[in-house]
Amino acid sequence: MASPQVVAHRGASAERAEHTLGAYQVALDQGADALECDVRVTRDGHLVCVHDRRVDRTSSGRGVVSELTLPAMSRFDFAHWHHELPESADELVFEPRASAAVGAAQRRILTFDDLLGLVRAQRRRIRLFAETKHPVRYAGLVEAKLTAALARHGVSAPAHKDESPVVMMSFSSAAVRRFRADAPGVPTVLLFDRASRAVRAGELPRWADLAGPSIRLLRRDPELAGRWAARGRDTYCWTVDDPADVELCRRAGVRFVATNRPGATRLRLSGGCPGTSVAVAAR
């Protein structure tokens, strides 16, 4: 059985401020197979990578994303709150740039266009899992903006879903359905922390390609991934940091594991353990 692919949850977010260029660069340096981000729409119509409804927790500013403009958010520091120096031996092993000062560009608000541009610039194949957040002020606009961004980058209509550099995700089934109608060739994930009897039996809406359970659900029922696989659906599991959970995902046949610690998770899946070096895939 193939090992799961490692998805850097908001970048290497245990080691760098989430959703910053620095967090994603560290994740790439650590050999992550894919990156994950949350996307929201600003007041002036830009897609930005922010998890919370407000920017208070993750920036030096205050306010609701949907009420702020991109220029306003560009004045905020999105890394000041996070300790940027190595806190463990793992970070020294996994981060060739750990001791470098975090530059101004790595502290600014990250737009979806810039993150997708980073992904597309890599010499090795990297996928970007983009989660649209709901409920939000602008409802379906976030999916429309995401579709438009993919079209600008020439990736809205891949020849095959397995070749798509972007995967769309949401906890909202309606959002996934909206996106599927606009970009039918781009794979989708329906995320959930609770599951109906039908979903636990292996059923998913036809507009969702992958099941996206929490690790909590998989702990309760390790056979979930197998039942979805029997119906031709892969599993994306979030958020997997504990070594026992990483091993559970491997045994269960999960295809993608979202983790805040992509370097350590990748090493465990390769048969190593934190504290030993690992070769990073060529960039």
Whether pLDDT at 264 is above 60: yes
Tell me what pLDDT residue 84 has: 52
* Candidates 19, 51, 82, 83; catalytic one: 51
Told to judge if 9 belongs to the known catalytic residues of this protein, a careful annotator would answer yes
Structure-model confidence comparison of residues 82 and 165, the more confident one: 165
Structure token pair of residue 136: 């939000």
pLDDT (mean) for 52-81 = 96
For all residues of the chain together, what is the average pLDDT?
A: 91
Please state the rounded mean pLDDT for residues 72-97.
67
pTM, rounded to two decimals = 0.90
173-231 confidence digits (pLDDT tens): 999 999 999 999 999 999 999 999 999 999 999 999 999 999 999 999 999 999 999 99
Q: Based on the residue annotation, tell me whether 51 is a catalytic residue of this protein.
A: yes
Confidence label for 92 from pLDDT (cuts 50, 70 and 90): very low
Residue range 2-7: mean pLDDT, rounded: 95
Catalytic option among 9, 19, 46, 82: 9
Measured distance CA(197)–CA(66) in Å, rounded: 35
Percent of the chain clearing pLDDT 90 (strictly above)? 83
